[in-house]
Amino acid sequence: MFDPILDADNEIDQVARTYARFAAREAAGVSPVYEDWAGGVAADEPVRALIAALPVAKRQPNLVFAASRRAGAPVGPYRPWREWLLAHWESVRPIVMARATQTNEAARCATLLPILSRIEGPVALLEVGASAGFCLHPDRYSYRYTGDAPAALDPDSGPSPVVLECALSGTPAPSRLPDVVWRAGIDRNPLDATDPDTRSWLETLVWPGQDDRRERIAAAARIAAAAPAPIRTGDLNEALADVAADAPADATLVVFHSAVLVYLSAADRTRFRGTVADLGCTWISNEGAHVFPDIASRLPADADAGGSFVLAVDGEPVALTGPHGHTYRGLGPEGRLPSG
């Protein structure tokens, strides 16, 4: 997840801090190539200067690295990549400006399921920042939980081509999939899972060395394309109440998002929370700890968020989760989760 550091006086130094943090907290132990590249950028002023000239929202390590690979950059040690980037920046910059990091990782459903499985009755899902809608199909995936509470769950129709693995601790394993009777999304730039170019870009966003993620995206795209959920084009604050009004009255409305509200201003986040509260729905937030400081302030004293997301239900933190859905660390007793 991109975590812009906006309080630095010098924008080139700001890029150094952002990339150093990405290397240490997100890429370390996950993608050696991206850890190397991000650490290299953090110490390389000519490269930092190129990135600092981009709009703030376009300086994301994920985006810059993926755009370079899209343009033909060598995937390997930092020095050859750096020399290639300096020589081909004018080919990379237009891709950065035209594209966005809209992976919308389907594996995050594994960290949503412990919440969704406890909601009784039919569920209406509304995702803000839905991208291609991969996270709108939690009932169509298979799950394999390891850790404190091993469990395996499959759809009623049988094992899914998308199998999500997650190390679970601090909470009972889900025992069932949700009964989803309605699903919809909102995104400024919805992605078409049936479009080959879109699917190619989503796969390019996968970090080097994560072949399982690339295969999962391809399989999730096929599921989303076979039964597409409607995704409204628009600003989430402007469209939320209108889209929510279409949800069936006899279903529990769940509004959720992952790594989305980081891109909103503090004022727009406050507005969003007010709209969600007015809907009377269940609100599931899965964001970096800094996105909602008041929620993060209620984490247990011994909870180290580090590079994790804070999973919260109606503003109450319940777990720390891996950004790509691979870990779930419950923060309290089972009773902190919704029971219906």
Considering Cα of 223, then 226, then 227, then 230, what sign does the dihedral take? positive
Q: Count CB-CB contacts under 10 A for residue 333.
A: 9
The predicted model scores a pTM of 0.81
Give the separation between CA 124 and CA 238, rounded to whole angstroms: 20
| pLDDT tens, per residue, the chain with 340 residues | 444 444 444 899 999 999 999 999 889 988 999 999 999 999 999 999 999 999 998 999 999 999 999 999 999 999 999 999 999 999 999 999 999 887 668 999 999 999 999 998 899 999 999 998 999 999 999 999 999 889 999 999 999 999 999 999 999 999 999 999 999 999 998 888 888 888 889 889 989 988 888 888 889 999 998 999 999 999 999 999 999 999 999 999 999 999 899 889 999 999 999 999 999 999 999 999 999 999 999 998 888 777 799 999 999 999 999 988 999 999 975 434 444 4
Q: Where are the alpha helices (DSSP H) in the chain?
A: 11-21, 32-42, 45-52, 61-70, 78-98, 109-116, 196-204, 211-226, 236-244, 266-279, 293-296
285, burial (CB in 10 Å: exposed 0-12, middle 13-18, buried 19+): buried
Cα 266 from Cα 270, distance rounded (Å): 6
Of residues 212, 292, 275, the one with CA closest to residue 240: 275
